[in-house]
Chains A and B, each alone.
Chain A
Amino acid sequence: MALAIDPLIRLEGVSKIFHTEEVETHALSGVDLEIRAGEFVAIGGPSGCGKTTLLSILGLLDSPSEGSYVLAGEPVATLSAAQRARVRSRAIGFIFQAFNLIGDLDVFQNVELPLRYRGMAAAERRALVHEALGRVGLLHRIRHYPSQLSGGQQQRVAVARAVVGKPLVLLADEPTGNLDSRNGAQVMELLGELHDDGATIAIVTHDARYLSRAGRHVFLFDGRVVPHSPLDREVA
């Protein structure tokens, strides 16, 4: 999953302003950030500091109000909604706090979803889904529905869905937030293994126990990247 282009992600002067009833909210202000291919970056900061907004811009779910975003050498800050969807399906894997599996679809169908949106052939999809589920140890649950799985299993299915298309970067938003410590540790172990295999990962987490997995910590405060954090010292 590692890519020769370095840095894989470059944000320069990225700001995000939300307008609501004549009130301007500056969620991000002049964020500069680089993530190299194969890096495992943890994004931290207090509630409301802009972590989720940053993740949504990194994942092309939203566009910055100002600044540039270059992903794998391509400027993507001003892409249309359709173009962003296309890049998302090919380059980005999401892991959400609430798993976000689709209840009407079984494990196989959930995992193959990003591949469907790429227009990939059924045989190729099938092979990749089996490979991804094998990696998270859930091949035996392939025809089960999310409601038939434990929370930890559901998040492992979500990890399989995130990695099935071999994206350039995995973005995880509090992936252990809805799990007990044992299942949380398992998921983080899984992310660690993926990183060891070359995956580029950016994770938002509050849990200091799992920060040691990340090679670099980025801290946000009031929408800005700050150089040092008390959390950094705690981890150290």
Chain B
Amino acid sequence: MAYETPGQVTRAFERIQAGITAVPGVASGALVSAAPLEGGGSNGLVPEGRPIDISSSINSLMRLVTPDYFATMRIELVRGRGFGPDDRQGAPLVMVINETLAREAFPGQDPIGKRIACCEPGPDGSPNWKEVVGVARDVRATGLEEEPVPEFYLPMVQAPGAAWSWTDRTMTVVARAQGDAIPLMAPLRRAVAEVDPALPLYNLGTMQGRLMDSLAQSRFSTMLLTLFGALALAAVGVYGVISYGVAQRTQEIGIRMALGACHADVLAMVVRHGAGLAGIGLVIGLAGALALSRLVSSLLFRVSPTDPPTFAAGMVVLTAVAVLAAAIPARRAARTDPMVALRND
């Protein structure tokens, strides 16, 4: 099937929309050029009343949507309306903007009915005005940690011709399931294939999964921070215990030195003691880690919760930290004056 004109592209996507909403178990379905958290292409918008130049433009993310998009994604329209069947090619051009864009474009004013120039010039090179018919709640477009940015929505059927090249003729299918979403994956694939078997439907997943993915980086950072925090805590703990032990054993160390122990003997004895403590801790920690491994399995990617090389690496690192932490008090112990053996207090 050829998609040489914008009309052919639009019609194919409309048929896909119809197909997916007909899938049993789908409560509602829609298409969007970039779903939330996927980012999107940006355009410079100029609100009516401002000079038509780049310095007046507001950089905003554009989303082409089918009419049921707001209902399917449960994005509340705080003012005005969404898109309907009347917002077709040839009808007055309309747009829905988000709250952030509304505040930036029309501060302190009602944006409904106002016009915004965007996307491409009109036929005679004049501004291509679109009327604001609705204001939608802000949606975090690029990630949960990012503040909302100005966004505007256009009806897919009124998409500027150039928009299809901006979006690579790619749309995201969004569907709200009546129950579990996972069983719908295969029927949705079939619905798209029925429109055109050559159209690839890829990167299927739930919105919950997308949310988890968007948090992966921060979770990874948190995990790393926790890991290094735990390592630092382990080092401080071993250092404290060994330091205390060395202080308690000053007399004993002096006796050993009086009996012929050299600095290296004392150093080795204290580090050995630290390594022994670390060994006990490692055995307990290993048992605990194995017992709790199922709890972290959802945080892991391409590694088993009981991966032996990972456990081995962790043990090596912790042992090294413990030995290093023991080395400082060990050096102090090695400087013990053997004369303490002759003092009787």
A209: Cβ under 8 A from any B Cβ: no
B224: Cβ under 8 A from any A Cβ: no
Could you tell me if A56 and B342 are in contact, using CB atoms closer than 8 angstroms?
A: yes
Could you tell me if B338 and A118 are in contact, using CB atoms closer than 8 angstroms?
A: no
CB contacts (< 8 Å) of A85 on chain B: these are 257, 260-263
Could you tell me if A100 and B265 are in contact, using CB atoms closer than 8 angstroms?
A: no
Residues of A in contact with B, size category: 20 to 34
CB contacts (< 8 Å) of A96 on chain B: these are 255, 341-342, 344
Could you tell me if A117 and B342 are in contact, using CB atoms closer than 8 angstroms?
A: no
CB contacts (< 8 Å) of B341 on chain A: these are 61, 94, 96, 100
Closest to A115 in B: B260
A183: Cβ under 8 A from any B Cβ: no
Could you tell me if B338 and A82 are in contact, using CB atoms closer than 8 angstroms?
A: no
B207: Cβ under 8 A from any A Cβ: no
Nearest CB in chain B: distance from A160 CB, A: 13
A184: Cβ under 8 A from any B Cβ: no
A85 to B260, CA, bound (A): 5
CB contacts (< 8 Å) of A62 on chain B: these are 339
- Residue among A55, A100, A118, A173 with the most chain B CB within 10 A? A100
- Residue among B259, B260, B338, B342 with the most chain A CB within 10 A? B260
Could you tell me if B342 and A173 are in contact, using CB atoms closer than 8 angstroms?
A: yes
A102 to B256, CA, bound (A): 9
Question: A97-B344, A98-B344, A102-B252 known; A89 and B339 CB under 8 Å?
Answer: no
A86 to B259, CA, bound (A): 9
CB contacts (< 8 Å) of B263 on chain A: these are 81-82, 85
Closest to A85 in B: B262
Could you tell me if B338 and A114 are in contact, using CB atoms closer than 8 angstroms?
A: no
Question: A62-B339, A173-B342 known; A86 and B258 CB under 8 Å?
Answer: no
Could you tell me if A89 and B260 are in contact, using CB atoms closer than 8 angstroms?
A: yes
Closest to A52 in B: B342
CB contacts (< 8 Å) of B252 on chain A: these are 102
Nearest CB in chain A: distance from B255 CB, A: 5
| Interface residues in B248-272 (C-beta closer than 8 Å to A) | 251-252, 255-265
* Interface residue SS majority, chain B: helix
Could you tell me if A59 and B258 are in contact, using CB atoms closer than 8 angstroms?
A: yes
A114's partner among B251, B259, B262 (CB-CB below 8 A) is B259
CB contacts (< 8 Å) of B259 on chain A: these are 88-89, 94, 113-114, 117, 161
A90: Cβ under 8 A from any B Cβ: yes
- Could you mark each residue 96-119 of chain A with 1 if its beta carbon is under 8 Å from any beta carbon of chain B, else 0? 111010100000000001100110
- Could you mark each residue 76-93 of chain A with 1 if its beta carbon is under 8 Å from any beta carbon of chain B, else 0? 000001100110111000
Could you tell me if B260 and A55 are in contact, using CB atoms closer than 8 angstroms?
A: no
Nearest CB in chain B: distance from A197 CB, A: 22
Question: A97-B344, A100-B255, A102-B252 known; A117 and B339 CB under 8 Å?
Answer: no
- Could you mark each residue 334-345 of chain B with 1 if its beta carbon is under 8 Å from any beta carbon of chain A, else 0? 000011011010
CB contacts (< 8 Å) of A86 on chain B: these are 260, 262
CB contacts (< 8 Å) of B344 on chain A: these are 96-98, 177
A85 to B263, CA, bound (A): 9
CB contacts (< 8 Å) of A117 on chain B: these are 256, 259-262, 265
A86 to B344, CA, bound (A): 24
- Could you mark each residue 314-345 of chain B with 1 if its beta carbon is under 8 Å from any beta carbon of chain A, else 0? 00000000000000000000000011011010
CB contacts (< 8 Å) of B265 on chain A: these are 117
A55's partner among B251, B256, B264, B342 (CB-CB below 8 A) is B342
Nearest CB in chain A: distance from B274 CB, A: 16
CB contacts (< 8 Å) of A102 on chain B: these are 252, 255-256
A173 to B265, CA, bound (A): 25
Could you tell me if A114 and B260 are in contact, using CB atoms closer than 8 angstroms?
A: yes
A81 to B261, CA, bound (A): 10
A171 to B283, CA, bound (A): 45
Nearest CB in chain A: distance from B273 CB, A: 11
B260's partner among A81, A88, A100 (CB-CB below 8 A) is A88
Nearest CB in chain B: distance from A171 CB, A: 10
| Interface residues in B292-317 (C-beta closer than 8 Å to A) | none
A114 to B256, CA, bound (A): 8
CB contacts (< 8 Å) of B251 on chain A: these are 100
CB contacts (< 8 Å) of B264 on chain A: these are 82
A89 to B342, CA, bound (A): 16
B338's partner among A52, A61, A98 (CB-CB below 8 A) is A61
Nearest CB in chain B: distance from A53 CB, A: 9
Nearest CB in chain B: distance from A124 CB, A: 16
A130 to B191, CA, bound (A): 91
CB contacts (< 8 Å) of B261 on chain A: these are 85, 89, 117
A75 to B263, CA, bound (A): 22
CB contacts (< 8 Å) of A118 on chain B: these are 260
A157 to B67, CA, bound (A): 96
Could you tell me if A113 and B256 are in contact, using CB atoms closer than 8 angstroms?
A: yes
Would you mind naming 11 contact pairs between A and B with Cβ atoms under 8 Å apart? A82-B262, A88-B258, A88-B259, A89-B259, A89-B260, A96-B255, A96-B341, A97-B344, A98-B344, A113-B256, A177-B344
Residues of chain B touching chain A, judged by Cβ–Cβ distance below 8 Å, are 251-252, 255-265, 338-339, 341-342, 344
Additional A-B contacts beyond A82-B262, A89-B259, A96-B341 (4; CB < 8 A) = A81-B262, A90-B260, A94-B258, A117-B265
Question: Which 5 residue pairs are nearest across A and B when measured between Cβ atoms?
Answer: A89-B260, A117-B260, A85-B262, A100-B255, A114-B259
